[in-house]
Amino acid sequence: MTYTFGLDTFGDRNSDADGAPLSHAQTIRNVVEQGVFAEQVGVDFFGIGEHHTEYFPMPAGDVVLGAIAARTGQIRLGSAVTVLSSDDPVRVFQRYSTLNAISGGRAEVILGRGSSIESFPLFGYDLADYEDLFEEKATLFAELLKGGLVTWDGKTRPALLNQDVVPHLESSPFPAWIGVGGNPQSVIRAARLGFSLALAIIGGPPDRFAAYSELFQRALEKFGRPPLPVLVHSPGHVAATDEQAKAEFWPRWLEIIALIAPERGFALPTEESFNTETGPHGALYVGSPETVAQKIATNLRVLGATRFDLKYGMPGLTHDQLMTNIELYGRQVIPRVRELLS
């Protein structure tokens, strides 16, 4: 079995060595350097998640991915995720087919309903339409991936009648995934439309998601589709030792959860709950290369997944800390996971 390994970022706003926040512009430039470096240390995929906040200033990840594509030659590049519900599927397809052209066929896209909902008021969408928006737009995106003239009709955007959507793909469609955070209907939707499955696991025991992987493969069979891959996306931080990784990550984790807890309904973490999440049965991959590698290998087996994406970084970490994380992940964690899974 072939396993692949990625890094995802939300463009988490960096700080300098004294703890002062860097500008949004410098943070974005740092993400470009991080993506280029990820290829150099052997990472297979680099993803950028769409966000529209002061602490995640990354509303146009595809532009940043284009800059990385121009300076790399092997690493795959994509969204992690694109909030399709508050975007136009045609424009998303055009942006990522353009990235696919720039990168020589290395583009991917992970589509999400929007677990972070700041894009809805920004672009004038009603949260009451949350489900309908994604269902219709995901259906249209699946049609766009087929190529050729597109005919489509729905409630969320103007109809298309034999519309030629450019740029055309040079060969097969680029990989497309649906991100799922725990909704069985989303798993079934991914199978019905022919998307691969991306499991976003950010809290609690990862093994509880094994049921979603199994449901996905059963649903694919039911809809007459071939088996499709499953990936796992989870937060983490790699440093030289477990103690250093936790010391760097914990205060940043606490700060960001405190910021988003009112919107997302999260409980505030304690040091005890943090130690549980970073332990063998938690969702955070925080520790030394060996600790993180053991946990990745275990959960890939349990979840029937063939790709793991580490969501690295937190607002307030420095660029140097993130570059160290990337180097350790690429040069030590990934080879060790491959060894453990061989």
Decide: 312 and 38 in contact? Cβ < 8 Å.
Answer: no
Average pLDDT of the chain is 96
Residue whose structure tokens are 């975007």: 87
**Chain segment 289-312, per-residue pLDDT in tens:** 999 999 999 999 999 999 999 999
Residue 296: which residues within 8 A CB-CB, separation 6 or more? 5, 285, 308, 333, 337
Average pLDDT over residues 83-95: 96
Confidence at residue 333, expressed as pLDDT on a 0 to 100 scale: 99
Burial of residue 289, with CB atoms counted within 10 A of its CB: 0-12 exposed, 13-18 middle, 19 or more buried: buried
Q: Mean of the pLDDT values across residues 202-224?
A: 97
CA 339/CA 195 separation, integer angstroms: 29
pLDDT at residue 182 greater than cutoff 90: no
pLDDT at 128: 82
Q: In the predicted model, is pLDDT for residue 90 greater than 80?
A: yes
Give DSSP secondary structure letters for 114-169: -SS-THHHHHT--GGGHHHHHHHHHHHHHHHHT-S-EEE--SSS--EEEE--SSPP
Q: pLDDT-derived band of residue 144, with 50, 70 and 90 as boundaries? A: very high
Give residue-wise pLDDT tens across range 258-290. Answer: 988 887 778 899 999 999 999 999 999 999 999
Least confident of 13-22, 95-104, 129-138, 141-150: 129-138
What 8-state DSSP symbol labels residue 54? S
Which band of pLDDT confidence, cut at 50, 70 and 90, is reported for residue 250?
Answer: very high
DSSP state of 204: S
